[in-house]
Structure 1
Amino acid sequence: MHKFWWHSLLFSPVILDLLMVAVPAIASEVPVNQASSLSSPEDMGQVTSVSQLSDVKPTDWAFAALQSLVERYGCIAGYPNQTYRGNRALTRYEFAAGLNACLNQINQLIASGTADLVNKEDLITLQKLQEEYTAELQTLRGRVDSLEARTATIESQQFATTTKLRGEAIFALASVFGSDRAINTDAQNRGSSRPKLEENAIFADRVRLNFDTSFTGKDRLRVRLQGRNITSFNSAVTGTNQTRLGFDGNESNNVSVSALFYRFPIGNSTIASIATEGLEYIDEVPPLSRNFDSSGSGALSRFGRYNPIYRAAEGPGIIISHQFNKALTLTAGYVVPSGVGNDPSNGRGMFNGTYSALGQITFQPASQLSLAFTYVNAYYTDGSGVTGSTGTGFANNPFNGARTSVNNYSVTANYKFSPQFTLTAWGGYTNAKAENTAVARSDAEIWNWAVQLGFPDLGKKGNFAGFVFGVPPYAASNEYVSGTNRRQDDDVTYHLEAFYRYKLNDNIAITPGFITLLNPEGNSSNPNIYVGVVRTTFTF
């Protein structure tokens, strides 16, 4: 009699049933949807086996022999009264698993010195059964052996039992093209010269490591480490923030914690996220700019990724989202900028400095259509950041550094015409007021809009072609006067962008693209500015 090494746990009711599902499916001898019906010992009598695999019927001698052994030696624990409820035909693999359980149980009795409990007739029956089902037993052992080896490898190589490591690395080759930097009307009227664009191409990177930990299976604690050296194509390079890329930032590749937040459910319909760093509204509201919003795989420009209203602030805060039903979701949040929430000095901190408060209703009446109505109230102690560095200088800082309060209103819509074509559009209006009592005539009106055309799986599955056409935020009117000039844009900037994400494999994607700005910085006397980008994204 051979002593088998399988652990008795393998033939507990749950594991045995899982094995019975897996083995026939792996062998491709029974469809998975039929095999998966073997869900529990209580249900086994209600299952109809596949006829070509029902080799062991209740009338067979082997069936009756195994049934007798199971009932006498309790080979398969968990059945009522230790009896084998064999009122249906078994596949040979199922039968072999049950047989092996009895072999294992009797081996344990022999090893424990209680061999006298096993009679000679049963040993002869077992030997005969073992010889009859040698092929099936060997197949099962080989497959379980392989599964155990793979499990051991996973356990030895996994980062942690509760934490998953996810990484992303971006290599960016980019350059701006044109003649002169953009200047605003105020600077032009003061006789400022037109410096040239800094047109030298850059090759830079951004690396992120996300450590995602779950304690309940429904929550997530994220710690993100980031290093980057991608120079922003901002006003210092092109004269305007409208040329910024969606993944820029330069800390000379010094690694820091760029995000630290905990997301957890409250009941069945509410999700809350609290953060000390890196909380963004776009990460928590229902996505409408899908395939455009990701900095690593979406649109190349900062403006082209998503509605600028979600850039009101990024840093410490809390966001709560409640889903009333499949069609209606309410999101509310309060976020302050990085470097403000942890500073107790006057005019800073969580409630005494720059802040933003968001409320959004997302309505999805059909799987093809999504609508979002968003309101953000914000306050900026230094007057800068009104448009999240996506618009003109007058729109981003309408009152030349004066304390500023804003009310932002926006409507976003997404329609999925087909799996290969989606359209997203938004329009936004901002009313800004200077809060300094010494400043008279302090109202400004800021507008923006855009249309995104998306073509998923163009060329092959996983590829994506995107087009963005819109108007970045501009100061349409402003009563504030600086010197002899009003901080108001004379013209409208038009943003045109095209990119194509080509998926080399599951881990590498290359995204070339081109961005054109007409009337940059809201001034038609400025020559057009162009931005060319090739972004390569590695995910692991």
Structure 2
Amino acid sequence: MKLFRQLLLAPVALGLMAPVAATAGEMNLDGINQYAASEDQVTSITQFSDVQPTEWAYQALSNLIERYGCVAGYPDGTFRGKKPLSRWEAAALLNACLDRITEVTDELRRLLKEFEKELAILRGRVDNLEAKVGELEANQFSTTTKLRGVATFTIGGNAYGGDGEASLGQAFVLNRLQEVKGGEPAIRPGQQFSDAAAAQQGAVAFNYNLDLYLDTSFTGKDLLRTRLRAGNFGSSPWGAANPDNLVGLNAFEVAFEGAPGADALMVNRLFYQFPLGKSFTATVGGKVRQDDMLAFWPSVYPADTVLDIFTYGGAPGAYPLTLGSGAGLWWKSGGFSISANYVAVNGNVGNPNNGGIGTDGSAQTGTAQIAWNNENFGIAAAYTYTTPQGGLAGLYGGNATPVTTLGYALSDSVSSVGISGYWQPSNSGWLPSISTGWGLNSHSANSDSAGGLADGIDGAQTQSWYVGLQWSDVFIKGNSLGMAVGQATMFTKSGDEDVLDPNDGNYAWEWWYKFQVTDNISITPAIFYLSRPLGQLQKGGDDSDGFDNFGGVVKTTFKF
């Protein structure tokens, strides 16, 4: 009210304080008396016959009349807005407004008196709320835990073609690989590859996977993640038992993570992540995976689609997703980030010969990544050093041709680099998102660990690449379509070609369409093809028609 009065009366008061510019003889006292004597306040600006909407002060005058009722005008129904304002007229206008404001003030005092008790109660409630808000601000975060889950049903199978037969050496390598993976012997010498594969994994199977995430925060900026997992993929067409180890389905790594068995619930992740200052984030865990400790993932090709081959930015050596005891640190500023982490698969074992942190038996990986990204584009370069220690650390899920997988297990160390990136359009349309990557791995081995293969593995190189495309909102909003092509990790250079032939290539394709049934349920039918899944093992013997793998799967995913 004080502010309004000041704004309203300021020009009038200034007029009153101004020096007298006219003598009494120059004043129209009769007109002033008429204005001052007018007691009938107008209620609408339209009552003035000489005020038009085109006047520059029309709206201001309308507000004074209709909101505050302190403009009377002249008895003849005119406002005479273009006539100079004398001090006498200013005094009359000021008196009318003061009378109106006094009426309003008296009415407010009466209302305040009448509702004095109610206002006191409200004032007390407001004070109480302010106290509670102050307490909440002082203790603005309490420990919270959120549960979310992902359940997946998968039904599908594989079909095998070609009439290539396994030689004695080829059968030995395949069976040795199965031993490394914990599976049964895969093939007999002289048996056709397709017959052996069909005998072991030729049936249609129905499998499930369940992930439960418990995310806890103590400060609002940290994260304690516990992931529980159960599934029965170990003996499925997509698990470790398959002699063609390139058909593993993404996210179903139970077979390679030391699960106690089908349908058994296991702790799949347990790590704590917290900020250090404004730009650094640290992660430490008794069961943490390499990608949990990276500030940036260099792909937008969906990680929950089909084959594992297309999940790791084209460089499964640089991004092996090693799971074990570990710690990491990343720095982010704008679009730039730098990450470094360490994971020991056997970090929970006390015997330094086959476990521990930083020992010969750790089966460990160390990774460094530098990356940059914005809303539409991202690129990263990563380096990973691995000591496989007779296992598959450094090559998640056996994501390579059989000879390369065995070469990893028998290497003393592997140095891997990967360059990966993506581009995605801002809006849905004909242009898909494009994700691509390439990886290069250098192996070293000695006869103590690799036996007769040492000369072939030591100094050998393996490579991989992929391109993945995804279209969003295809046919129906929310549905998506995708395809990918690439080569899984394969030997491209041998330490000794008389021992190990680097002719190890294999091409893989996948196509899928995701129906988004509801916000939480999706159905994804997919097909895939592997041209030469056994790589160089298909060379030699009766290999005129070789060996190939065609498969199909329908995945139903429930998120809750």
TM-score range, shorter-chain basis?
0.5 to 0.7
Q: Does 1:494 align with 2:507?
A: yes
Asked if structure 1 preserves the Cα contact closer than 8 Å seen for 2:212 and 2:227, the reply is yes
Q: State how 1:481-520 maps to structure 2 within 5 Å.
A: 486-520=499-533
- Aligned positions, number: 402
Give the drift of 1:70: 7.6
Asked if structure 2 preserves the Cα contact closer than 8 Å seen for 1:489 and 1:522, the reply is no
Q: Does 1:532 align with 2:548?
A: no
Paired AA for residue 350 in structure 1: I
Distance 1:539 1:264 in 2: 26
Q: Which runs of 5+ in 1 are unaligned?
A: 1-50, 76-99, 109-159
2:282 corresponds to: 272
3-state SS of paired residue (2:203)? coil
Deviations 1:464-505 (A, max 9, x none): 222110000001222268xxx634442410010111221111
Paired AA for residue 336 in structure 2: L
Give the drift of 1:326: 1.6
Taking structure 2 as the reference length, the TM-score comes to 0.64
Q: State how 1:182-261 maps to structure 2 within 5 Å.
A: 186-187=169-170, 191-194=189-192, 195-197=196-198, 198-231=201-234, 232-233=236-237, 237-248=241-252, 249=254, 251-261=261-271
Indicate the structure (1 or 2) with the bigger Cα radius of gyration.
Answer: 2
Paired AA for residue 354 in structure 1: A
Taking structure 1 as the reference length, the TM-score comes to 0.66
Give the drift of 1:312: 5.2
2:471 corresponds to: 455
Pick one of 316, 329, 350 that aligns with 1:320: 329
Distance verdict in 2 for CA 1:407–1:60, change over 3 Å: farther
2:443 corresponds to: 432
Distance verdict in 2 for CA 1:351–1:177, change over 3 Å: same
Pick one of 347, 354, 361 that aligns with 1:347: 354
Distance 1:393 1:61 in 2: 96
Q: State how 1:279-358 maps to structure 2 within 5 Å.
A: 279-281=289-291, 284-293=294-303, 298-307=304-313, 308=316, 309-311=318-320, 313-323=322-332, 325-337=333-345, 340-345=346-351, 346-352=353-359, 353-358=362-367
Deviations 1:264-303 (A, max 9, x none): 111111111111114232663412222512xxxx221111
1:39 corresponds to: none
Pick one of 397, 416, 420 that aligns with 1:412: 420
3-state SS of paired residue (1:210)? strand
Distance verdict in 2 for CA 1:395–1:376, change over 3 Å: same
3-state SS of paired residue (1:244)? coil
Paired AA for residue 241 in structure 1: N
Give the drift of 1:402: 3.5
Asked if structure 2 preserves the Cα contact closer than 8 Å seen for 1:176 and 1:201, the reply is yes
Distance verdict in 2 for CA 1:162–1:234, change over 3 Å: closer
Paired AA for residue 344 in structure 1: G
Give the drift of 1:533: 1.1
Asked if structure 1 preserves the Cα contact closer than 8 Å seen for 2:513 and 2:524, the reply is yes
Asked if structure 2 preserves the Cα contact closer than 8 Å seen for 1:244 and 1:302, the reply is yes
Asked if structure 2 preserves the Cα contact closer than 8 Å seen for 1:402 and 1:436, the reply is no
Give the drift of 1:432: 0.6
Distance 1:225 1:452 in 2: 30
Instruction: Decide which moves more: 186-195 or 426-435.
Output: 186-195
1:362 corresponds to: 371
RMSD between aligned alpha carbons?
A: 3.7
Give the drift of 1:386: 4.3
Distance verdict in 2 for CA 1:282–1:68, change over 3 Å: farther
Distance verdict in 2 for CA 1:405–1:161, change over 3 Å: closer
Distance 1:496 1:462 in 2: 24
Q: Which runs of 5+ in 2 are unaligned?
A: 1-62, 70-99, 127-141, 174-188, 256-260
Distance 1:506 1:64 in 2: 60
Asked if structure 2 preserves the Cα contact closer than 8 Å seen for 1:385 and 1:397, the reply is no
3-state SS of paired residue (1:310)? coil
Deviations 1:331-365 (A, max 9, x none): 1110122xx1110112311211210000011023x
Distance verdict in 2 for CA 1:204–1:188, change over 3 Å: closer
Give the drift of 1:328: 1.4
Asked if structure 2 preserves the Cα contact closer than 8 Å seen for 1:368 and 1:417, the reply is yes
Paired AA for residue 272 in structure 2: Y
Distance 1:107 1:292 in 2: 52
